[in-house]
């Protein structure tokens, strides 16, 4: 037997050894997976009961929700208008007039009208996003909530307080769109519908 045959036999032996180790490792992994699957099987059995329990809790929560109607929301909105009028009259307009820039034109609007509109949006947007209610809603015990029950997102807030309200405020006659709240099943306005939100009473 020459040296080349000896080397070939050694290589075949190593290959067989590696193949056997690979097979053993595969069987070990398979047994480990089966063991874990067996250990987790009781949890899988418990999942449907947990899901049913969660659904019952959600249905009970939905049943106790009381949506805020047109008149209650109107009083809260009017109180917010009083707050905004005070802020604009005491802070924003005097600052603009002292600096003599209130009459400046910005995108076909005076700077004063633009500042008032911006304060309107920021007031509703920030309080709705971080508190869930404006000062008017706080007084009347109302809160804005997401349709899916999760925390309000900036996308919802921008659609609700920006685009939705702009549609209803852009002309005088478009304010009549607020009457949709009185006739919709869940007391939603157009701005609620575009943002998937409800306004509810905090307490029964």
Residue 181 has pLDDT above 80, yes or no: yes
- Is the CB of residue 103 less than 8 Å from the CB of residue 111? yes
Domain membership of residue 135 as a residue range: 70-201
Co-location of 142 and 77 in the same domain: yes
The C-alpha atoms of residue 111 and residue 93 are separated, in whole angstroms, by 10
Co-location of 90 and 143 in the same domain: yes
Q: How many structural domains compose the chain?
A: 2
User: What are the beta bridge partners of residue 52?
Assistant: none
Co-location of 117 and 49 in the same domain: no
- Is the CB of residue 121 less than 8 Å from the CB of residue 127? no
Q: At 104, is the secondary structure helix, strand, or coil? A: coil
Co-location of 74 and 172 in the same domain: yes
DSSP 183: H
Residue ending a domain, among 61, 84, 106, is 61
Co-location of 74 and 57 in the same domain: no
Q: At 180, is the secondary structure helix, strand, or coil? A: helix
Name the pTM for this structure. Answer: 0.64
Co-location of 38 and 81 in the same domain: no
Residue ending a domain, among 26, 44, 61, is 61
Q: What are the structure tokens assigned to 145, written together?
A: 């909530």
Co-location of 117 and 184 in the same domain: yes
Residue ending a domain, among 42, 61, 80, is 61
Cα–Cα–Cα angle for 114, 146, 67, rounded to 5 degrees? 95
- Is the CB of residue 145 less than 8 Å from the CB of residue 200? yes
What pLDDT, on the 0 to 100 scale, is given for residue 3?
Answer: 46
What pLDDT, on the 0 to 100 scale, is given for residue 46?
Answer: 44
What pLDDT, on the 0 to 100 scale, is given for residue 54?
Answer: 60
Co-location of 128 and 184 in the same domain: yes
The predicted-structure confidence for 126-141, as pLDDT tens digits, reads as follows 999 999 999 999 999 9
Helix H, strand E, coil C: the string for 126-146 is HHHHHCCCCHHHHHHCEEEEE
The stretch 155-179 carries a mean pLDDT of 83
* Nearest Cα to Cα of residue 191 among 171, 166, 154: 166
Co-location of 129 and 175 in the same domain: yes
Q: What are the structure tokens assigned to 148, written together?
A: 């899916």
Residue 104 has pLDDT above 70, yes or no: no
- Is the CB of residue 198 less than 8 Å from the CB of residue 147? yes
The C-alpha atoms of residue 194 and residue 147 are separated, in whole angstroms, by 11
Q: What proportion of the chain, given as a percentage, has pLDDT over 70?
A: 62
Co-location of 116 and 193 in the same domain: yes
Co-location of 189 and 126 in the same domain: yes
Co-location of 111 and 22 in the same domain: no
């Amino acid at each position: 037997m020459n040296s080349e045959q000896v080397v070939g036999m050694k290589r075949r032996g190593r290959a067989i050894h590696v193949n056997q180790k690979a097979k053993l490792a595969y069987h070990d992994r398979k047994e480990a997976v089966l063991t874990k699957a067996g250990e987790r099987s009781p949890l899988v059995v418990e999942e449907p009961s947990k899901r049913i329990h969660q659904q019952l809790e959600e249905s009970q929560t939905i049943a106790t929700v009381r949506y805020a109607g047109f008149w209650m929301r109107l009083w809260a909105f009017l109180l917010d208008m009083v707050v905004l009028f005070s802020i604009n009259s005491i802070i924003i307009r005097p600052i603009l007039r002292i600096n003599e820039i209130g009459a400046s034109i910005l995108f076909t609007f005076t700077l004063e009208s633009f500042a008032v509109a911006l304060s309107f949006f920021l007031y509703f947007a920030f309080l709705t996003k971080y508190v869930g209610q404006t000062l008017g809603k706080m007084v009347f015990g109302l809160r804005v909530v997401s349709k899916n029950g999760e925390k309000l997102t900036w996308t919802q807030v921008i659609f609700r307080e920006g685009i939705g309200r702009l549609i209803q405020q852009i002309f005088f006659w478009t304010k009549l769109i607020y009457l949709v709240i009185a006739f919709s099943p869940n007391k939603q306005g157009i701005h609620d519908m575009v943002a998937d939100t409800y306004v509810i009473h905090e307490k029964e």
